[in-house]
Structure 1
Amino acid sequence: MAVSEFLSKRILITGASSGIGAGLAKAFAKRGASLSIVGRNETNLKKVARECKELGAKKILPIIADLAIIKDVERVVKETLASFEGLDILINNAGVALPTPVAETKVSEFDFIFAVNTRAPVILTKLVVPHLEQSKGNIINVSSVVTEVNLPAMNVYSMSKAALNKFTKTAALELAKKGIRVNAVNPASVKTNINRYLDENMARKIQKNVGMLHPLGRRAVSIDEVVNAVLFLASNDARMITGTCLMADRGFVLAGGRL
């Protein structure tokens, strides 16, 4: 892809205060994009915003918001469009994970996980469609390999990401006639702050064992590897690709995906 391809592109990234989202923000900043970055942690988000500005972002708009709250989701779009007067790329990256054993799952946990992982991307997509149609832009959802493998005590998280995959494909089919591409990237375990939601023993087991089950190497997937997959799908090099859920897992699913 051309280095200048994202120059001045208007990009909205959720979950950008840390982890994959912060990595994405910095990568697009280096390419001169205008960025609306969303997160709940104000201190971290402001730090990422400063770094993006230093790296070359044309414009940077940090928005503190809780995507489990519908009014916050709507405000994110309103503030982004007011600042950028349009949009080229939406990246639904924000995600939460909680251990939810089948016999112990609370309704509040179910609602929270689905609100952030599934409902927020659906609402954000709906609200930006007219603007992406105008720019012939695209949408990338950050999903997970849990859509293809089964992890004990992670049923609600897995369900939310499976729903996101299905939404990706359905949205891609519907929005193709508007010139909007919709794809997903499905990473294997990446050591990010999302693990703070997990039981300590489970998080340690995932990080220890996932790297041993990758045919392409023992190490876990890096943030940069996920970022590169997103950059590709967002670029003109992927202009023929829509409705794809791209496994960024170093072969984890191929190897059976068992911990």
Structure 2
Amino acid sequence: MMEFVGKVVLITGASSGIGAETAQTFAKLGADLVLTGRNVGALKKVAESCQKASTKEPLTVVGNMEDEGHVKNLIESAIKKFNKLDVLVNNAGIMELGSIENTSLEQYDKVFNVNVRSVYNLTMQAVPHLVKTKGNIVNVSSVCGIRAFPGVLSYCMSKSAIEQFTKCVALELAPKQVRVNAVSPGVIVTSLQRRGGLDDAAYAAFLEHSKTTHALGRPGEVSEVANAIAFLASDLSSFITGSSIPVDGGRHAMCPR
């Protein structure tokens, strides 16, 4: 039941990190892929890797999810090529460091435009096609959406919005048999934090510290998140909707002491 032969899966933020690994996971499971990201070269490499894994050539659409024209073109291109959509993985996201004392409205707008507004927009446009296939949506949230952490204010707020978005849309689409779920990763070894402002030394210290902030004693790997996404998108989770599964080594259950 963990196979996607004949299914069309659209993944945002597919050029790196969790998105790239998720694309390869779905490729191995037989899906037809629609991949989007901002980095042309990186997205091409991911597509080539997926094609080697499945012999199927993914459709790649390069663009910025903040661009409404790109989002519209993304859906139109997917339907034009495959004539349907079965799974939407809202993965694209950014992180910015900042507290209420040193943040800005510019940071707030940047983070929310990518992490919330673009997800809202793409989901709106994908839903009519998902209703036709009785498909499903998997949103990539964060432990920061269910627990509070200082120093990443706009990011935490944006992921909290995704948690509520997941539940609300799940209830709205349940009568049409479209499931909506989320994964909430803890610290995963990707480039997210470095793009968010940590230099190499700070990132190394961050990963070392993560051994104490996760109950399992380590940060996670992208494959562990990708497998959870595939599970939620598969028929194995056919009675799960409106849920957010922490993929965080137990971090969400921990308390300072």
- TM-score normalised by length of structure 2: 0.95
SS at the partner of 1:253?
helix
1:192-248: per-residue Cα shift (whole Å, max 9, x none)?
121222233654443221222322x21211111111111111111101000001111
Aligned residues of 1:34 and 1:57 also touching (Cα < 8 A)? no
1:80 Cα offset (Å): 1.4
1:177 Cα offset (Å): 0.8
From 2, 6, 9, give the equivalent of 1:8. 6
Corresponding residue for 1:159?
157
Aligned residues of 1:137 and 1:181 also touching (Cα < 8 A)? yes
Corresponding residue for 2:131?
133
CA distance in 1: counterparts of 2:209 and 2:100, whole angstroms: 23
Shifted more, 218-227 versus 43-52: the winner is: 218-227
1:157-194: per-residue Cα shift (whole Å, max 9, x none)?
00000001100000000000111000000000112121
Report how many aligned residue pairs link the two structures.
255
TM alignment of 1:1-259, pairs within 5 A: 1-2=1-2, 5-56=3-54, 58-195=56-193, 196-200=195-199, 203-215=203-215, 217-256=216-255
1:85 Cα offset (Å): 0.9
1:151 Cα offset (Å): 2.0
**5+ unaligned residues in a row in structure 1: which ranges?**
none
Amino acid at match of 2:212: M
Shifted more, 239-248 versus 219-228: the winner is: 219-228
Amino acid at match of 1:224: S
CA distance in 1: counterparts of 2:141 and 2:165, whole angstroms: 11
1:57 Cα offset (Å): 5.1
1:74-132: per-residue Cα shift (whole Å, max 9, x none)?
22112111111110000000010011221221222111111111111111111111111
Structure 1 residues 8, 59: closer, same or farther in 2, change over 3 A?
A: farther
Structure 1 residues 111, 57: closer, same or farther in 2, change over 3 A?
A: farther
CA distance in 2: counterparts of 1:202 and 1:80, whole angstroms: 40
Aligned residues of 2:47 and 2:57 also touching (Cα < 8 A)? no
What root-mean-square deviation, in Å, do the aligned CA atoms of Structure 1 and Structure 2 show?
1.5
**5+ unaligned residues in a row in structure 2: which ranges?**
none
Structure 1 residues 160, 181: closer, same or farther in 2, change over 3 A?
A: same
Sequence identity (%): 40
Structure 1 residues 110, 202: closer, same or farther in 2, change over 3 A?
A: farther
CA distance in 2: counterparts of 1:100 and 1:70, whole angstroms: 27
SS at the partner of 1:81?
helix
